[in-house]
Chains A and B, each alone.
Chain A
Amino acid sequence: MIDLPMTSHAVHFSGTVRLDGDRVLVTLAGGIDISTVSQFSDLMDQAVAFGARRVTVDVAGIDFLDAQAFHILVITSERLRMTGANLDVRAATPRLYRLFQITNLVEALGVEQPRPHPALVGMVAALSTIPATRDVLDAALKLVVTMAQAVVSGADGVSITLPRQGQLGTVAASNDVVLEMDHDQYDTGEGPCLDAATVGERFFIDELSAEDRWPAFVPRAQARGIQSILSTPLLTAGTPIGALNVYSRTAGAFAGHEKEWTDQFAAEASRVVAAAHVSESVPPLQEQVNQALLSRESIALAQGMVMQRDGVAADAAHRTLRNHSRRTGTPLRLVAEELVAGHRHATTPASGGSSPRV
């Protein structure tokens, strides 16, 4: 079952236009597509005809808008502007707001930013001040998970998946069942969480018993008593970086507004990850270079010790260390660090570094 917005043929749409103080308020509900767009167009004409200096379009009840609907909003806004009036859009859901963002219309149409869920108020401010360490990042994500579980009705567990050491892993989970569910997906190599994190789209299972995607994973989830799953991608700059997963023991638990709330938490988690500037796949180049510099320093020190001890040249001393690293399977850096720390007197190769003992 794929989560598509309103697939029924008869699209419901309704709207009202009324004067509210010195402005015109247009309240819309339902969906606007080819079958309802003329109704919408008529409503906007009525709104302009009032001659007010401001027209506010309330889209709180809107499920979706098609391209023509956006076009009509833009045209109406232009018409109003020519007469010195303004149009603005308010109460868009996070999902609808994202559409305005994608179509680059937020500014032109004065689209009000969606109000965060009450549970999120204050959290953004608190999180924006966190330093960019892995530990604090994980703590912040754990907080997002805890809040999502408390706020999204029907959620029996919430987790966040991000790549760690090049592989997707669970970095925050509200309980052990969720953690095990995530591991089922990593083990079987399939599942909504993995797909959301790689494809960058929401994956939704309304009822596991009716699900035929992910044949290896689904029976395992059922065995854990899970009935519905909602996996929302975490995105930074439009690129999927992970997923926020919500599990429920109740079938159809996320049929209402849970998806929008979950979107907000996913957006929150994305912001936290982006703000922390922690690359989750590869350490940043600066960090790699720092590590390389530290490694060089240790090796140079150890090399100097071997040169002095064995009375050999730099290259020969390096070879001594390298041969020891090779024989013992210990990274050269560690060989050097241990030698420098003076822990290896008994085991470091003694004199004669040029004759390797393999």
Chain B
Amino acid sequence: MSELTDAALDQARRDAGLSMSDLFVRYFGLGGMTPALEMEAVVHGALTASSEDRDRMVHALNERFTEMGRNHPVPYSEDEEKTG
């Protein structure tokens, strides 16, 4: 049902120029509670996170994209619910 597969999450991470640990530090800074290894598994699509937790990862990516002048290109769970 989800348009954004988790492989796309990893692709977004690479587009954003973030290493896995860069992303983790950002996600953690936004209040993320998932440990680094599990977050990495989620980003790779090996684990499924709650939509809330996943949205925090998405937001960490989008804040990076905003710094790069792009407007939140990675969709949040509620976007997918609307379009899906």
A residues engaging B (CB < 8 A)?
A: 285, 288-289, 291-293, 295-296, 299-300, 303, 315, 318-319, 322, 325-326, 329, 331-333, 356
Contact = CB atoms under 8 A, between A and B. Distances in A.
Contacts of A288: 25
Interface residues of B, number: 17
B31 to A, nearest CB: 5
A230 B3 CA distance: 56
Please classify the interface of chain A as helix (H, G, I), strand (E, B), loop, or mixed, using the class held by over half of its residues.
helix
A319 B72 CA distance: 15
B31 A303 contact: yes
A296 B59 contact: no
Given A288-B25, A329-B71, A299 B62 contact: no
A322 B28 contact: no
Interface of B: 25-26, 28-31, 52, 55-56, 59, 62-63, 66, 71-72, 76, 78
Contacts of B66: 329, 331
Contact of B25 (A289, A318, A322, A332): A289
A29 B28 CA distance: 63
Contact of A322 (B29, B55, B71): B55
B25 A292 contact: yes
23 contacts: A289-B25, A292-B28, A293-B29, A295-B29, A295-B30, A296-B28, A296-B29, A300-B31, A318-B31, A318-B52, A318-B56, A319-B52, A319-B55, A325-B59, A325-B63, A326-B59, A326-B72, A326-B76, A331-B63, A332-B30, A333-B29, A333-B30, A356-B78
